[in-house]
Amino acid sequence: MPIEAAARGPRGWFELYGALLRSAWLVDLQYRASLAIWLFWGMTEPLISLAIWWSVAGGGEVGGYGRAEFARYFFGVVLVNQLTLAWDAYYVDRWIRGGELNHRLARPVAPIHEAIADNIAYKLRSAAVVLILWSGFAALWPAVRVPFEPARWAAAALATLFAAGIRFLNGYATGLLAFWLTRATAVMELQFGLSLFLSGRIAPLALLPAGAAAVAGVLWFPYMLAFPVEVLTGTVPLGAEYARGIAIQVLWLAAWFAAYRWVWTRGLRRYGAVGG
């Protein structure tokens, strides 16, 4: 791996990430069955929610959502969720508790770059599968079609990129709490439970009670999923509301990056492990 090249500017980082991505891709090939299961579950959960809301809506509307709107929303959730999925809290927690962090610290590049490459490799494969399946559904079921508007797709892509960054840094920083906690994944599971409601996973945010919507509005959860989905499906107009959402995403991205740096630097000072 050309780690030394990383010190020579953009070309060095390009070579480094090329090596990391190749390694991550080859590792993923060893776990094809597991990846298929994760992909299946990632698609199943939103489709179950769609089935429930489809039944509730009947021939009318619920909070401004009819059956077609629910279909577009939850198929958007399927795609955006795969593009923003992050599981690093569980890996980082294991690295710290089991000593697997030791050999990663011996490398002249921070372990977070390995995690970033793993995320990119997985998402390139899973997102391609989801896009193919979504295209097939859209060909047969007009309700899930999203109008092809280049400006909106570009805006949704940017929002999804920032959402993926927030979700990744949130998970990575949470996993690093294992420097202090016996089981940092418990904190991640608490966040996962909250995100079911506050990120728009089981219902559009417009259907939340006023109190829950107010709480969601000041946290990062909606900007990891619901916001890019609503941009993609046209619920968020491309204008001041979109610009405000992007600005909030940038703020949360910066906040979670600062949290990662703070936890990482202080955690290393007290880290001690054998094995790995």
- Pair (115, 143) in one structural domain: yes
Nearest to 119, CA basis, from 76, 99, 89: 89
- Pair (20, 49) in one structural domain: no
- Pair (100, 13) in one structural domain: no
Beta bridge mates, 65: 62
Task: Give the model's pLDDT for residue 28.
Answer: 65
- Pair (58, 164) in one structural domain: yes
Nearest to 217, CA basis, from 208, 191, 240, 172: 208
Nearest to 271, CA basis, from 172, 175, 180: 180
Give the pTM.
0.88
- Pair (52, 5) in one structural domain: no
- Pair (2, 136) in one structural domain: no
- Pair (64, 23) in one structural domain: no
- Pair (104, 23) in one structural domain: no
Q: Which domain holds residue 188?
A: 31-270
State which amino acid sits at residue 204. P
When divided into structural domains, the chain yields a total of: 2
Q: Does residue 276 lie within any of the structural domains? A: no
Q: Does residue 275 lie within any of the structural domains? A: no
- Pair (6, 121) in one structural domain: no
* Contacts with 114 (C-beta within 8 Å, 6 or more apart), sequence order: 20, 24, 104
- Pair (54, 9) in one structural domain: no
Q: Does residue 136 lie within any of the structural domains? A: yes
- Do 178 and 266 form a contact (C-beta atoms < 8 A)? no
Task: Give the model's pLDDT for residue 226.
Answer: 95
Task: Give the model's pLDDT for residue 1.
Answer: 40
- Pair (165, 250) in one structural domain: yes
Q: Does residue 116 lie within any of the structural domains? A: yes
Q: Does residue 153 lie within any of the structural domains? A: yes
- Pair (135, 233) in one structural domain: yes
Q: What is the largest CA-CA distance in the chain?
A: 62
Q: Does residue 115 lie within any of the structural domains? A: yes
Low-confidence stretches of the chain (pLDDT < 70) are 1-9, 28-35, 38, 273-276
